[in-house]
Structure 1
């Protein structure tokens, strides 16, 4: 399905509400002045409050597993609004809540 490309201004959250940020955006492609992101680099997660059985186990990093099928930047699939990632160390997914709406990819 086509979806909006994720750039560095996108709001990506872990399941518990921690904010995920791109660690290495693609410098070659920009949307609205912001670099886009690809599956090649994980997002770092900060502010995750997850606590399992009285022991803190916050999300630290989100590794992308599904990106665009037909659009790549520097050889890596770009991230779309419906791309999927898994957080480490607890294996929960992320949610893309806000992204730019001008450029779409497949």
Structure 2
């Protein structure tokens, strides 16, 4: 069991830039903040990643593996151990997002 991720948690791209979770379902709260679900996207701002001389900053983070037993609005809840991928504006994969939940009381698997 790992902590559920809320909008109050910290999400970063693999290059250290912060990401903001945009919850699609804000009905379930943990620690006073909406719990994120598999379908939610995070917007990355300030990534300085470049491939050679061409900037390829991360702009979004999305998940493809989340909790198997906890559903919110029919969607799997996002847990700290969720697997995802950050992408550039051109859709080029840049690596997994790093998640640090703000709360540790609500758990899921």
Runs of 4+ in 1 over 3 A off after TM superposition: none
Distance, in Å, in 2 between the alignment partners of 1:24 and 1:95 is 17
Where 1:27 maps in the other structure, the secondary structure is coil
Aligned length: 105
What residue in structure 1 maps to residue 108 of structure 2? 105
- How far apart, CA to CA, are the structure 2 residues paired with 1:88 and 1:15? 10
Specify every segment of 5 or more residues in structure 1 that has no aligned partner in the other structure, as ranges: none
Give structure 2 stretches of 5+ with no counterpart. Answer: none
Cα distance in 2, alignment partners of residues 97 and 23 from structure 1:
16
The CA RMSD over aligned residues, in Å, is 1.2
Structure 1 length as normaliser, TM-score? 0.92
TM-score (norm 2): 0.90
Q: Identify which of 91, 95, 99 aligns with 2:98.
A: 95
